Structure 1
């Protein structure tokens, strides 16, 4: 993660957020074997002009023991996006996660209709 003093346009910020999302697709839930984006765990990405990034996500269950592992993997994935100078993962519980948040790909892979 590098220092930057550049002012990003709204279009550039959207492009950076898209690359952040692509990097998050490399973070695989070890229990389900599917990435956290397709599982619908990523709720919001905030990218500031300073490069500071907040990723709001949830887990499939409140007591999920994977929170630390996933957070660590997210920090690793953010190293692939040079504009991100600092990453923070915030766990949110509302709205509660349901299988409705999963992508079609994740549903097919897990055999959920």
Structure 2
């Protein structure tokens, strides 16, 4: 299997893991909420996830980040995980998937 195919499979597994992480106040996962801005995977399986929160003062921030990192670490093929929290650009409802908008009644 090529490196590209392996990387795509690993990305899909990481995205699936992130779809099991929820902000306790919102019944939609962080991936479909649009909180994940980027997933970078090195050839060695080191993963850097850049994500945000719905608000900078989110009281659940430590829990959400820990949950995301823990679930990514469980993915086969992941060697290490680095979580990068950013608020630039600020999150907006427009970043949500269509499914998330439907779930939350925005469509």
Output the TM-score relative to the length of structure 2: 0.91
Confirm or deny that 1:68 pairs with 2:62. yes
Distance 1:60 1:11 in 2: 32
Show the counterpart of 2:8.
14
- Unaligned runs of at least 5 residues, structure 1: 1-7
For residue 73 of structure 2, what is the aligned residue in structure 1?
79
Structure 1 runs of 4+ off > 2 angstroms? none
CA deviations 1:37-75 (Å, max 9, x no partner) are 110000100111221111000111111122110111112
Q: CA RMSD in A?
A: 1.3
Alpha-carbon distance, 1:95 to partner: 1.6
TM-score by length of 1: 0.87
Structure 2 unmatched ranges of 5 or more: none
Partner of 1:28: 22
Q: What is the CA–CA distance in structure 2 between the aligned matches of 1:92 and 1:11, rounded to whole Å?
A: 29
